[in-house]
């Protein structure tokens, strides 16, 4: 960049008070951002990325402390400003999109009130002028019917809409610097694509600088000009986008790339990073990545590495010096995928499954309508195979999973597990049938009992189903079985006596998988088990699931919106939209030769972690939002957003059509 930097961060050190000492979460990082430039901070959870953003905005929690360094915006030292003056900078000169909009938006104020506060304080707008500006901002972030949304509260909005409102609030003051902390985490690929398009457009229009904090390499490839890789509070590599994706130099950066699930790695185990990010209280004296590094040398444990320049503009902090393009990572072995082949008969058969929730109003709570959450879903899963159920949030994927287990009673349809009908089954035989199918929930922290130790959580199912050799009275046998299960999912035997809160997110997900496996099921329903995990932890979970399937022949219904995971793990794919399956078939056919316009739009919106991913011209942008399942459109449910819709689509729902090896519900397949 020829322009002088707008933001200069020099030797910034941030910490948190613990007892009588301050533990540094950010230890001496330096970087610059120019106008119109996006600098991405990349790394695992716990590396200090969000603490850096909070420090720049001076929004650290009460225990947070700025231990040293300087932060300069347009020549003004932000760390030296009194708090009263700093408030005039926040929202006007610099703004932040927080990671979790559900907790960042005020639940008792309307959307209009929250945007209006920024306009009134920083731009002096009120009344009609402020309302017009609010409506314009909501239109810019892609919210339909903005007049109605201004009067609504955050709880009335979907996750994607709340994120868009957060962006509207951040942009209301027309900031020069935007800090975006995981702005697309856990969002659908279509909503993510819209938000990234919006940020890129606004950056070009306004010449805005952006600090993008993420662990998604696809988002980095699409948005960033320069990248800084952060580990354990330090920057370990800084490079341009081209150098970063063509020749990553630090072993940690290479490991992040190797952990990505891709179709090319389908037959191989993903490379994982052993261990965890060191805690703030136990930072190593030398290189902080040494204990997890495949190229560790004695000097790494004794001396912290200095910065060196790999190429012009590409700096790395590492003792190990590789040849250009050389990898520090070991060659991975193949995974036996033979159990994924076709077998005779289906383990699970679902026919015309419907789940309709009544809408009740008035004092007498009369039913005035229904939410058609699942409206005629049919699918089948064979033993030892993985069926991925994909689609946008709100399309009914999780409801399908719960209805299969009869956790939600179906309104109509059939669910047959090895020729036994589960719908309408009496409580006692249904409880016994549930041993054969278990669920791994999206949030393991919410699904694990915080008052029980891990050993008790896993043994609970064994006792409930009184499995042979694992009777409640046989304590010693049960304890051995629990330890064996923990070992199978990669956890030490000492985990038996610990509580869920003492584990990381990836470890808690392993505990949830061990609990599900404890009753020897033939089918696991996995509901977004990797959606909020770092790529390194995600790789561990995917390797585990693949290994368990190869060894035990377990079948999976994998509910997700992550197409990279689908490419790597799934044998079959079913695409869901507004309560119905619109396309289903073998994974390679559906993903490489999608026939339904909705599937094509989903695949085009997926950001790819490589340089050639900048395919904006090829991206299919869906207008509007997913319609309400309480009032689905007539005819084909997708026709209001479909670029190929005709009068026939508006009048009649399409029949199933076989195209190649997969089935499509579309009047104009392909």
576-599 mean pLDDT: 94
Q: Name 447's Cβ contacts closer than 8 Å, sequence gap at least 6.
A: 441, 512
CB 624 within 8 A of CB 641: yes
- List pLDDT tens digits, range 316-351: 999 998 655 566 665 454 455 544 455 567 999 999
- Tell me the mean pLDDT in the region 471-489: 79
pLDDT at res. 471: 44
Confidence of residue 538 (pLDDT cuts 50, 70, 90): confident
- Rounded to the nearest 5°, which phi and psi values hold at 25? -95, -25
Residue-wise pLDDT for 618-641, tens only, equals: 778 887 777 888 889 999 999 999
Which run of H or E residues covers position 230? strand 226-231
Q: Which are the contacts of 271, defined by CB distance < 8 A and separation ≥ 6?
A: 255, 258, 259, 329, 330, 332, 539
The pLDDT value recorded for residue 467 is 64
For the chain, what is the total number of helices (H) and then of strands (E)?
23, 24
Is position 294 within any domain?
Answer: no
- Confidence check: pLDDT of 158 > 80: no
Return the number of other C-beta atoms located less than 10 Å from residue 656's C-beta.
14
pLDDT at residue 102 above 80?
no
Q: So what's the pLDDT on residue 338?
A: 46
Query: pLDDT value at position 609?
Result: 83
What's the domain range around 121?
107-174
Whether residue 329 is contained in a domain is answered as no
Q: Can you tell me the distance from the alpha carbon of 364 to that of 210, in angstroms, rounded to the nearest whole number? A: 53
Mean pLDDT is lowest, of 145-159, 279-293, 336-350, for 336-350
Average pLDDT over residues 155-161: 77
Mean pLDDT comparison of 58-62, 439-443, 622-626, highest-scoring range = 58-62
Does some domain include residue 649? yes
pLDDT tens digits, 392-417: 877 889 899 999 999 999 999 999 99
- Please report the sign of the dihedral spanned by the C-alpha atoms of residue 215, residue 218, residue 223, residue 229: positive
**What is the rounded average pLDDT of the residues 591-598?**
93
Residue 621 CB contacts under 8 Å (≥ 6 apart), including other chains: 193, 194, 197, 601
Boundary of a domain, candidates 158, 174, 190: 174
Residue 613, pLDDT > 60, answer no
Weakest-pLDDT range from 43-47, 396-400, 609-613: 609-613
Asked whether residue 127 is domain-assigned, the answer is yes
* Whether residue 187 has pLDDT greater than 80: no
| Contacts of residue 336, Cβ cutoff 8 Å, sequence gap at least 6 | 550
Please state which of the ranges 195-204, 248-257, 305-314 shows the lowest mean pLDDT.
195-204
Assigned domain for 30 exists: no
Whether 219 is in a domain gets the answer: no
Residue 39's pLDDT is what? 97
CATH number for the domain including 545? Answer: 3.40.50.300
Question: What H or E segment, with its residue span, contains residue 222?
Answer: helix 217-223
Residues 643-658 have a mean pLDDT of 93
Q: Which residue has the higher pLDDT, 370 or 3?
A: 370
Angle between helices 597-604 and 189-206 (to 10 degrees): 50
Which among 174, 201, 224 is the end of a domain? 174
Q: Which of 44-58, 179-193, 256-270, 464-478 has the lowest mean pLDDT?
A: 464-478
At residue 594 the predicted structure's pLDDT band, cuts being 50, 70 and 90, is very high
Q: Which residue carries 């069926």 as its tokens?
A: 387
145/60: higher pLDDT: 60
In percent, the amount of the chain with pLDDT more than 70 equals 93
DSSP 164: H
**Extended beta strands in 263-392, E state:** 307-311, 314-317, 348-361, 366-381, 386-390
Domain count for the chain, please give it: 2
Q: Hey, how many other C-beta atoms are within 10 angstroms of the C-beta on 504?
A: 16
Average pLDDT of the residues in 119-139:
93
pLDDT digits (tens, 9 = 90+) for 67-77: 999 999 998 99
Q: What percentage of the chain carries pLDDT values higher than 90?
A: 55
- Look at residue 42 and give its three-state secondary structure: strand
Task: State the Cα–Cα distance between residues 345 and 380, nearest whole angstrom.
Answer: 10
Residue 581 within a domain = yes
Among candidate residues 133, 155, 174, the one where a domain is terminated: 174
Going by pLDDT thresholds of 50, 70 and 90, the confidence category of residue 670 is: low
pLDDT score for 223:
92
The string of pLDDT tens digits covering residues 188-232 is 788 788 888 888 888 888 889 999 998 888 899 999 999 999 999
Integer Cα distance of 105 and 98 in angstroms? 9
Task: Show Cβ contacts of residue 557 under 8 Å, excluding neighbours closer than 6 positions.
Answer: 348, 381, 387, 389, 401, 404, 523, 524, 525, 526
Confidence of residue 66 (pLDDT cuts 50, 70, 90): very high
599-617 average pLDDT score: 74
Cβ pair 237, 289 in contact under 8 A:
no
Average pLDDT of the chain, as a whole number: 88
Asked if the structure places residue 210 within a domain, the reply is no
């Amino acid at each position: 960049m020829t322009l002088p930097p707008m933001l200069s961060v020099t030797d910034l050190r941030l910490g948190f008070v613990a007892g009588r000492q301050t533990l540094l979460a950010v230890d001496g990082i330096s970087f610059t951002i120019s106008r119109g430039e996006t600098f991405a901070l990349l790394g695992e959870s716990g590396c200090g990325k969000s603490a850096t953003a909070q420090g720049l905005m001076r929004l650290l929690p009460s225990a947070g402390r700025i231990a040293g360094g300087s932060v300069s915006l347009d020549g003004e030292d932000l760390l030296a400003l009194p708090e009263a003056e700093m408030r005039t900078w926040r929202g006007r000169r610099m703004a932040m999109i927080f990671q979790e909009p559900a907790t960042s938006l005020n639940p008792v104020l309307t959307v209009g009130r929250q945007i209006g506060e920024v306009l009134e304080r920083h731009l002096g707008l009120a009344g009609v002028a402020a309302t017009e500006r609010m409506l314009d901002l909501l239109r810019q972030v892609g919210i339909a019917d903005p007049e109605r949304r201004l009067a609504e509260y955050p709880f009335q909005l979907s996750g994607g809409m709340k994120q868009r409102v957060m962006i509207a609030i951040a942009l209301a003051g027309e900031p020069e610097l935007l800090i975006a902390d995981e702005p697309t985490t856990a969002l659908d690929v279509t909503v993510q694509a819209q938000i990234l398009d919006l940020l890129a457009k606004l950056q070009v229009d306004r010449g805005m600088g952006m600090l993008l904090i993420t662990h998604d390499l696809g988002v980095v490839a699409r948005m960033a000009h320069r990248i800084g890789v952060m580990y354990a509070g330090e920057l370990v590599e800084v490079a341009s986008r081209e150098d970063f994706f063509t020749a990553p130099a630090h072993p940690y950066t290479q490991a992040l790339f190797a952990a990505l699930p891709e179709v090319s790695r389908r037959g191989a185990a993903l490379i994982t990073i052993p261990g965890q990010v060191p805690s703030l209280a136990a930072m190593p004296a030398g290189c902080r990545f040494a204990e997890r590094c495949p190229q560790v040398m004695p000097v790494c444990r004794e001396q912290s590495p200095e910065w060196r320049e790999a190429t012009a503009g590409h700096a790395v902090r590492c003792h190990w010096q590789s040849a250009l393009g050389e990898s520090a990572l070991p060659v991975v072995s193949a995974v036996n995928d033979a159990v994924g082949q076709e077998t005779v008969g289906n383990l699970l058969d679902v026919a015309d499954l419907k789940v309709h929730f009544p809408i009740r109003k008035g004092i007498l709570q009369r039913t005035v309508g229904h939410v058609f959450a699942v409206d005629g879903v049919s699918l089948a899963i064979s033993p030892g195979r993985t069926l991925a159920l994909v689609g946008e949030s709100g399309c009914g994927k999780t409801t399908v999973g719960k209805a299969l287990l009869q956790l939600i009673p179906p309104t109509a349809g059939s669910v047959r597990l090895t020729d036994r009908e589960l719908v309408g089954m009496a409580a006692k035989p249904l409880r016994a049938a549930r041993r054969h199918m278990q669920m791994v929930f999206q949030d393991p922290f919410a699904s694990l009992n915080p008052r029980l130790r891990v050993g008790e959580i896993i043994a609970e199912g064994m006792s409930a189903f009184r499995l042979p050799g694992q009777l409640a009275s046989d304590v010693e046998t049960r304890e051995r079985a629990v330890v064996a299960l923990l070992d199978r999912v990669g956890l030490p035997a000492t985990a038996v006596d610990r509580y869920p809160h003492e584990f990381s997110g990836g470890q808690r997900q392993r505990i949830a998988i061990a609990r599900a496996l404890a009753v020897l099921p033939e089918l696991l329903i996995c509901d977004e088990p990797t959606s909020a995990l770092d790529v390194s932890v995600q790789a561990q979970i995917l390797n585990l699931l693949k290994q368990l399937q190869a060894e035990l022949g377990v079948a999976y219904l994998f509910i997700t919106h992550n197409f990279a995971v689908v490419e790597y793990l799934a044998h079959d794919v079913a695409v869901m939209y507004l309560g119905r399956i619109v396309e289903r078939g073998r994974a390679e056919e559906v993903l490489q030769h999608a026939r339904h316009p909705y599937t094509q739009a989903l695949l085009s919106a997926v950001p790819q972690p490589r340089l050639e991913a900048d395919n904006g011209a090829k991206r299919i942008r869906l207008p509007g939002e997913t319609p309400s399942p309480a009032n689905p459109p007539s005819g084909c449910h997708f026709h209001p957003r479909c670029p190929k819709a005709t009068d026939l689509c508006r009048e009649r729902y399409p029949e199933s059509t076989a195209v190649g090896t997969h089935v499509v519900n579309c009047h104009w397949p392909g």
